[in-house]
Structure 1
Amino acid sequence: MVDWTGLQNELRIWQVEGLSLPLWWRDDDAVSMTAALDRMTARATQLNMPVHIAVIPKHADQTLVDAVADTQKLVPLVHGWAHENHATAERKKSEFGEPRQGQLEEIGAALGQMRNLFSTALAEVFVPPWNRIDPALVPQLSALGYRALSTFTPRATRTPSDGLVQINTHIDPIDWRGGGGLRSPEDQLSNLTEHLRDRREGRADAAEPLGMLTHHLVQDDATWAFTHECLLRLLDAGATPLNLRDVIQDLP
């Protein structure tokens, strides 16, 4: 049994103090309509909150375009270009984490492709694969047409460059280091509770939307069960679900 007591106690303090907790959901690696994507869309409908699908532009197909058109619950974001690892052997995986020729052209082409596919359904948010990006690229994103950048862990600043807002994710239920499956719920809830306390006490940016990160193609039943329960408890405690597309002109 998962013990939610610590998180519930912290959320109760948020309610008593009348604090606002914006909440968003990002899911990575979408390319086509699959049974897994359909199941995730059903969960989003049950929770009555949108899920922002980070789409790989080079490989996205018409079935995904049609799926987005059929529901208001799927909000496309730009997930790199081809989701290919260009890191050197001794470095962690990344597509845009190290200097190489043609990066800006790929990032620009990615946005153009996504606009062609999804039109006004798109939120112009760049999600670098593996959540890694060369800091030298960040100041170039707004000139290419991006409004926001999203990686993982609490943001250090709201605006990492002129015209660009950073909105990260903070909860990832998958045990990547352990080969997949559900990461220790106790560790996750301890980290989440500590992060919420840091926000409440001024040690972290309380205005940044709290982000859930999922990967619909690889999540097992236990991981989905935890994800759903976590989102549900946050929503029941007063968290406000956020659609980045709706606030793209004035991101928090």
Structure 2
Amino acid sequence: MTSDQIWQPLVEELARWQRADRKAEFWLRDDDAVDPTPALDRLLDLTGQFAIPVTLAVIPALTDGKLVARLDEAPHATVAIHGWAHRNHAPEGQKKQELDPHRSREAVLDDLARGLSRITGLHGARAVPMLVPPWNRIDASLISELGSIGFAALSVYGPPKPASLAVINSNVDIMDWHGTRGCRDHGILVQTIIAQSRRAFDDGEPVGLLTHHLVHDESAWLFLERLFTVTARTEACAWLPIRTLVRRGAGRAIPGKV
């Protein structure tokens, strides 16, 4: 199958949105940013070329002013809080988790408050008070406490669940973590995006793309470039900044929910 044949179904899906006089909405989250690197430069250059807003989930304990200086040159990038140190606290044999039920709630919330304070202090207006839990895992009992320490939104992976704050989840991960650890098959990714787009046509949840620039292979970069090219060719697609989604999600938050 040629590249054009792989991507044609997405072209047709976006044409369906255009016929309905609607816009398919996308957003981009990239995890594990710490320092300026050639991979980060490539991500920022590529997203900048196509005017794609990108939200970088930055690890607070490991970053410093070097990243601030680099992002000063990338006005299309915003910064979210990626836990505290991306350190696993789960017992051996369990799935990795930093925001876990195995430590006291006070200790975990203190880490998160420090993370929010550090990222906001470093990045100022570029920082968005959104928590991105490392490994996309957080003890459910902590979620209702996030607002009290300054968070306005939460982003994990999968379908969003009602909560006491805005939930803006990623739902298309381009990496094959349990196989090659490179990019997933492009045809499968295109079909996954189409499936999410069709759900969005009914429920309004945007297609949330999840990337990890530090581990991308060439196939991942090629996929992103082609996706950005396809979506740029139609007026029926919009890549949304995270602040727009946080404001929208705040209207759906349910006070008192976990």
**Length-normalised TM-score, structure 2:** 0.88
Matched letter for residue 68 of structure 1: L
> What does residue 239 of structure 1 align with?
237
How do residues 49-198 of structure 1 correspond to structure 2 at under 5 angstroms? 49-101=52-104, 102-157=107-162, 160-161=163-164, 164-198=165-199
- Count of residue correspondences: 244
Tell me the residue number matched to 1:45.
Answer: 48
CA contact (8 A) 2:56 2:78 kept: yes
For residue 195 of structure 2, give the secondary structure of its aligned residue in structure 1.
helix
Residue 181 (structure 2) pairs with residue 215 (structure 1): no
What is the Cα deviation at residue 70 of structure 1?
A: 2.2
Unaligned runs of 5+ in 2: 251-258
Distance 2:77 2:183 in 1: 24
In 1, distance between residues paired with 2:244 and 2:198? 28
Identity %: 34
Task: Please say which of residues 173-182 and 235-244 is displaced more in the overlay.
Answer: 235-244
Larger CA deviation: 118-127 vs 233-242: 233-242
Deviation at 1:196, TM superposition (A): 1.6
Amino acid at match of 1:137: L
Q: Which has the higher helix share?
A: 2
C-alpha distance after superposition, 1:5-51 (max 9, x if no partner): 22222221111112232221111101111111111110011111221
Q: Measure the CA separation in 1 of the matches of 2:15 and 2:157.
A: 26
Q: Distance in 2 between matches of 1:195 and 1:81?
A: 30
Tell me if the contact between 1:244 and 1:251 (Cα under 8 Å) persists in the aligned partners. Answer: no
User: Measured at CA, do residues 236 and 155 of structure 1 come closer, stay the same or move farther in structure 2, by a change above 3 Å?
Assistant: farther
TM-score (norm. length: structure 1): 0.90
**SS of structure 1 residue aligned to 2:183:** coil
CA contact (8 A) 1:56 1:83 kept: yes
Q: Deviations over 1:71-105 (max 9, x none)?
A: 20221110000001112222221111434121011
- Alpha-carbon shift at residue 189 of structure 1 (Å): 1.7
What displacement does 1:183 show?
A: 0.8
Shift of residue 213, structure 1, vs aligned partner: 1.0
Contact 1:153–1:170, Cα closer than 8 Å, also in 2: yes
For the residue of structure 2 that corresponds to 1:87, the secondary structure is: coil
Root mean square deviation, CA, Å: 1.7
Further displaced range: 49-58 or 3-12: 3-12
Contact 1:121 1:245 in 2 (8 A): no
Distance 1:153 1:234 in 2: 22
Answer yes or no: is the 8 Å Cα contact 1:99–1:134 preserved in 2: no
Shift of 1:231: 3.0
Structure-2 separation of matches of 1:81 and 1:230: 32
